[in-house]
Structure 1
Amino acid sequence: MSARGKARSRALEILFEAEQRSVSASDVLRRRRENTEQVINPYTVQIIDGVTAKQEQIDEFLRTYAQGWTLERMPSVDRVILRIGAWELLFNDEVPDGVAVSEAVALARTLSTDDSPAFVNGLLGRLQQLKPTLLA
């Protein structure tokens, strides 16, 4: 797994834990730094900060374009994967669009249900198509 792939996985863990515990991701990140020997890649922090800063806008896009699914009904891990993928796709110009989508699909394939990769691919693919108008 690439350094960025590991950073995405670590960001997913931290964002997921924050959501499950109803605490801020920065609190989870701080506790990990204080209480573990875990190395936190700078890109992990960039993802966490980016998703946190843009979460309201990202969630609105996900609500709008997730056909037949409310954000609340989605499995928590899928919701976090979609937030990371949407942030990379829409707000991180360093990551090519196709890479953002494929990396999110790979996380879903590894960490979620059998149906999740197709769902993540479809929703992020739709956002990719609409990207010029979403950010206009």
Structure 2
Amino acid sequence: MKRTEARQKAFQALFQLDSTELTIEEAIGHVLEEEQESNAFLNKLVRGTTENQAEIDAALEQKLEKWTLNRLPKIERTVLRLAVYEILHELDTPNKVVMNEAIELCKTYGDEKSSKFVNGVLSKFTEQ
């Protein structure tokens, strides 16, 4: 499984975890196609985002302007959590790659404004 597909599957699993009582393993199992096996990167993304959610949410709250995390649509909130986890914890992945992948997830699952909003928020994490 390529990293792009792993991110997409991680997004889907995290989206499920946001509103259900599933375990991480169950959520990952639900997004994998029949006979498809999980991989280490997918597991790391889902587990890392979930285990560091309080830190990620606090970082996001500081960067959001005129929004609270709870008011964000679920798609944008899930994409942002996943991307911020990667920016803060997966230092071997370039921030530009993380941002591009997050924008592509928004284009696939969100509306026309999702990708611009997510790009704006994530750019605040990558400014030096």
Question: Does the TM-score normalized on the shorter chain lie above 0.5?
Answer: yes
Q: Give the TM-score, by structure 2 length.
A: 0.89
Report SS of the residue matched to 1:72.
helix
Residue 38 of structure 2 is aligned with which of 5, 20, 40?
A: 40
Aligned in 2, Cα 1:111/1:61: closer, same or farther, shift over 3 Å? Answer: same
In structure 2, give the amino acid aligned to 1:19. D
Q: Partners in 2 of 1:120 and 1:25 — Cα distance?
A: 25
* 1:27 Cα deviation from its structure 2 partner: 4.0
Structure 2 unaligned regions, length at least 5: none
In structure 2, give the amino acid aligned to 1:119. F
Question: In the alignment, which residue of structure 1 is the partner of 2:69?
Answer: 71
Indicate the percent of aligned positions where both proteins have the same amino acid.
Answer: 29
Question: In the alignment, which residue of structure 2 is the partner of 1:16?
Answer: 15
Report SS of the residue matched to 2:70.
coil
- For the aligned residue pairs, the C-alpha RMSD in angstroms reads 2.0
Question: In the alignment, which residue of structure 1 is the partner of 2:89?
Answer: 91
How many correspondences in the alignment?
127
Aligned in 2, Cα 1:66/1:22: closer, same or farther, shift over 3 Å? Answer: farther
Report SS of the residue matched to 1:94.
coil
Q: Give the TM-score, by structure 1 length.
A: 0.84
Structure 1 unaligned regions, length at least 5: 131-136
**Pairing 1:104–2:119 present:** no
* 1:105 Cα deviation from its structure 2 partner: 0.8
Q: Work out whether residues 32 and 38 of structure 1, in 8 Å CA contact, stay in contact via their aligned partners in 2.
A: no
Moved over 6 A (4+): none
